[in-house]
Amino acid sequence: MNEREANITANAQNITEIANAIPIITNSTKASDKGNDGQEMGTVSTATVWVESDFFCATALTIENLVDKDADKRQAVALRVDGDKAVFYRVRLVGEQDTLLDNTGIHYFYRSYIQGSVDFICGNAKSLFHECVLDSVAEFWGAIAAHHRDSADEDTGFSFVNCTIKGSGSVFLGRAWGKYAATTYSFCDMDHVILPLGWSDWGDPSRQGTAMFGEYECSGKGSNRTERVEWSKALSSEEAMPFLSRDYIYGDGWLRL
């Protein structure tokens, strides 16, 4: 750990991180790192910042996990969020695999930057990513989103609206980490880094009939749906409507923007 590792606990309510106080929070995950049980640290244990409180807000802040590139396993979470009703505005999240563990709760990411390679936005939260930049640094292949919804009864999912996707490595838009994974992209500018198939069933064909992967009115070289997997959806305006605004995360009840 280079500068600071932070854990915002469930007992801390209504916290705002002030950018002038801690502009950069950096952690380094090495191949030799072990957890308290002596096991290798993976997705769950490597977070630079772990937020468990509700109503957390961060702005103009950079959170990094600079993973050892020589490691066989590159899970290195910059930010893990388990609290409910969190807002991240102009926040930079920098890492590789599993950069953002958007684990549980309802969250709003606005005009933020998220860099990674494999499944670099993952978890089972219900989150709106609005006007964000998603930057792939995958070396061979990767994926932006890996949603983990396991039941059709869960009210969770990732919605990306007016986001810019760019980078240097080829990535899927999403993978079905959970059987009922839910991920949509609307009005997003997709660079050439998007793999033509677009989506992955995580090696489990049964998830093709249960995952909800959709695209609506996207642009750029990566938005061409000619070779997309047939079980993904080109959403109609009516189908896309629930995903397009802060209503998706019930924003009228808790957001003051």
Provide the CATH number for the domain around residue 164: 2.160.20.10
Domain count, the chain: 1
In a domain, 6, yes or no: no
**Are 76 and 96 in contact, with CB atoms under 8 Å apart?**
yes
Rounded CA-CA distance 54/201 in Å is: 32
Element (H, E) at 174: strand 171-176
Q: Which of 98, 102, 135, 201 is catalytic?
A: 98
Q: What is the pLDDT of residue 191?
A: 97
Q: What is the pLDDT of residue 140?
A: 87
Is 98 an annotated catalytic residue? yes
Q: Which of 54, 82, 102, 119 is catalytic?
A: 119
165, β-bridge pairs: 134, 190
Residue ranges of the alpha helices (H) in 23-92? Answer: none
Q: What is the pLDDT of residue 35?
A: 42
Closest CA to 243 of 210, 212, 207: 212
Task: Report which residue type is found at 208.
Answer: Q
In a domain, 5, yes or no: no
Q: What is the pLDDT of residue 6?
A: 57
In a domain, 155, yes or no: yes
Share of the chain above pLDDT 70, in %: 82
- Residue 146 token pair: 């890996």
Q: Measure Cα distances from 56 to 8, 34, 86, 150, 154 in Å.
A: 9, 29, 5, 26, 23
Task: Report which residue type is found at 205.
Answer: P
Is 119 an annotated catalytic residue? yes
What residue numbers bound the domain in which 157 lies?
Answer: 20-252
In a domain, 119, yes or no: yes
Q: What is the pLDDT of residue 26?
A: 87
Task: Report which residue type is found at 14.
Answer: N
Low-confidence ranges of the chain (pLDDT < 70): 1-22, 29-45, 68-74, 257
Predicted TM-score (pTM) above 0.85: yes
In a domain, 169, yes or no: yes
Rounded CA-CA distance 106/75 in Å is: 23
